[in-house]
Amino acid sequence: MRIINPHVHQAIESGAGLRLNLGSGLRPRPGFFGLDHVKLPTTDIVADLNEPLSELPDHCVSEIYTRHTLEHIRDLLPLMGELHRVCRPDARIEIIVPHFSNPFFYSDPTHVRAFGLYTFYYFADEADQPRRKVPAFYVPHRFQIDSVSIELMRRGRVRGPASFALEWWINRGIQQLDWYERSACWLFPAESVQYVLRPKKTAPLLPRVGMRGPGVEVSKENASAAFAA
């Protein structure tokens, strides 16, 4: 791992919360530091997500966004442990990955896994899981799943009214999503599944007020909450 943008070091040293875009590629996300395996013009941190995030200290990240990246990660369980370590207790983690019914997923030789409705519930306490319970003893760290939603595939270049209606209906709740995976996903394949997670942990947070810059998020409200913790 190598930090190539000095603003990342400055943000860490200031106590500001980093906002990271994992697998940023050539499409930077406004307000986020880009992390990628390859050094690109938009890359702020070069890192292999199969390896520890050794340059990031504990509790230094306030938000993570990653789109169509985790399907390439061989060692997902250790990575989830690293994300839990570097994130603050109130950190928001948004993950968008291919659903297992996406037929295009299987064409890419660099893809190592597809994802389903319950994938990240394997990192949640049983009490935080929906009606269908899955094992949560593979790793010690825990996450709270704030939301899960599914985006259906387009048929050609457009999506018909039936697909829009079905997508709206299945995303109304976990029961509808569960029915979709069990009964309809091969008839109406999904493009992707989106999760919003938060780490379950406690840690002292002491950011400085007033820090600004790309990939940095600090406010008086954040600081007050941090000192209260």
What residues does each domain of the chain span? Answer: 2-228
SS3 per-residue string spanning 11-22: HHHHCCEEEEEE
User: Element (H or E) spanning 91, and its range?
Assistant: strand 87-98
Provide the mean pLDDT of the chain: 89
- pTM listed for this prediction: 0.86
- Architecture label for domain 2-228: 3-Layer(aba) Sandwich (3.40)
pLDDT tens digits for range 105-152: 999 999 999 999 999 999 999 999 998 999 999 999 999 999 999 999
Question: Is the pLDDT assigned to residue 13 strictly greater than 50?
Answer: yes
With a pLDDT cut of 70, the percent of the chain lying above it is 86
Mean pLDDT across the stretch 161-185? Answer: 94
pLDDT tens digits for range 32-74: 999 999 999 999 999 999 999 999 999 999 999 999 999 999 9
